[in-house]
Amino acid sequence: MKKKHPFYFWSLLTIIIGILSGAASSLFLHLLHWATDFRTDRTWMVLGLPAAGLLIGWAYYRYGQDVVKGNDQIIDEYKKPNKIIPLKMAPMVLLGTVITHLFGGSAGREGTAVQMGSSIADQFSEKFSLKAHHRRLILMMGMSGGFASVFGTPWAAAIFAFEVLRYDSFKWIRITPIVFAAFIAHYTCLLLGVHHTQYAVDWAPSLHLTSIGWAILAGIFCGFSAMLFSQSNHFFKSQFNRWIKNPMFRPVVGGAILALVFWFSGLDRFMGLGVPVIESAFHEQLSPFDFLIKTIFTAFTLGAGFKGGEVTPLFFVGATLGNALSLFIPLPMALLAGMCFIAVFAGATNTPIACTVMGLELFGPSGGLFFLIACVVSYVFSGQPGIYNAQPTMPFKIPFGRFKKSMR
């Protein structure tokens, strides 16, 4: 006979998971802000990337073999609950990401927040001996809490948890605790002094056949850009795995190459999150190749074994792609930057609905229909797979299978 937990149990658990996820993200974001500021004033620190890579590689080789899969591990556990995610995933990915950013690695932050939130939440599954379907709910609450608190988009976070895990097998009535966990985590993070980056899309033209056509074209470019980002991640990871058998030394070699390239090229704007470049993409013309360079640097950094997420680099890629498209697509620069900001993310993670909602939360409602068109078209044209290997095959996508096989 299944043990049923009362309403107050789930209410209290939702509050606790939301608070813990938000607090963990707050600590992470404060450390990330410190690391970025510290490195910005000391560009020579990029020369320490090989040593940072050795530290991260050794830590995961020695202590983190059972948490090294990151977000894919969370998706696997959701699909087939088997083993509680070790709590050590949270501090290991936090420290690994901060070290990566401290020395200039080109990475993001979403993966870290999601892994922290999910691993913290999953401890309650073991403590209260929850059934498999309840454990899935717990994982989704931790995922939405981590995502909401790190980006300040609670509605998008709740939908993201459903969409990225292929929500068609999940009972929608359970969205209530997932939404509440996201909002509680978000406001916990704000109360602990975190300030999220503000972006502005001031206006959008009226929707007619011509503007719809331009939005579709932008979405196609975003889809191909998302596919390039995803396949580049898989490619560099497979090459490091192929040529360097000991995982402890992959980030050492990768860090040495990155340090030399950054030091001699002067491309320091591609280090870390790159938020200043993202902000600039909304109001000033940038190099049309910025999105491609960021794709290569991020894919190489993560493929080598450094820690962090892919989403903020995807924002960078998307915003700078939109900025480049403004050279020949007659839509406002800020609108194109905002559209591509979320649409490249939608294509790479297979989450067009969550990304449309994220656009509304970040940029306001003026460009809502343009956001929807760009995200859906990008999703259709982004190919299989996305950045998460463990995701199931997604429907309604153009099957660029030949390209997929050649890159993996």
**What is the secondary structure of 190-259 as a DSSP string?**
HHTT--PPP------PPP-HHHHHHHHHHHHHHHHHHHHHHHHHHHHHHHHHHH--SGGGHHHHHHHHHH
The whole-angstrom separation of Cα 315 and Cα 322 is 10
- Which domains are present in the chain? 7-191 (1.10.3080.10), 209-407 (1.10.3080.10)
User: Which three-class secondary structure state does DSSP give residue 393?
Assistant: coil
Mean pLDDT of the chain, nearest integer: 91
Least confident of 60-69, 172-181, 261-270, 304-313: 172-181
pLDDT of 123-169, one tens digit each? Answer: 999 888 888 888 999 999 999 999 999 999 999 999 999 898 875 55
* Range from 140-144, 190-194, 205-209 carrying the lowest mean pLDDT: 205-209
For the segment 214-256, what is each residue's pLDDT rounded down to a tens digit?
Answer: 999 999 999 999 999 999 999 999 999 999 999 999 999 999 9
Residue from 369, 308, 321 nearest 347 by CA: 321
Closest CA to 139 of 321, 341, 131: 131
- What is the reported pLDDT for 133? 84
* Phi, psi torsion values for 78, nearest 5 degrees: -70, -45
Q: Where are the alpha helices (DSSP H) in 41-174?
A: 49-63, 71-79, 89-102, 110-127, 132-151, 154-164
Q: What is the pLDDT of residues 359-408, one digit of tens each?
A: 999 999 999 999 999 999 999 999 988 899 888 778 788 876 544 443 43
In the numeric block, the tokens 């579709």 are attached to: 216
Contact between residue 110 and residue 312 where contact means Cβ atoms under 8 Å apart: yes
Q: Which among 210, 383, 196 is positioned nearest to 278, based on CA atoms?
A: 196
- Residue 172 pLDDT class (50, 70, 90 cuts): low
Q: Which two tokens stand for residue 116?
A: 């922290």
CB 336 within 8 A of CB 325: yes
Return contacts of 154-159, CB within 8 angstroms, 24+ apart: 154/179, 154/182, 154/183, 154/185, 154/186, 154/361, 155/179, 155/182, 155/357, 155/361, 156/354, 156/355, 156/357, 156/358, 156/361, 157/182, 157/186, 157/354, 158/182, 159/351, 159/353, 159/354, 159/357
For residue 97, give both structure tokens: 């990401």
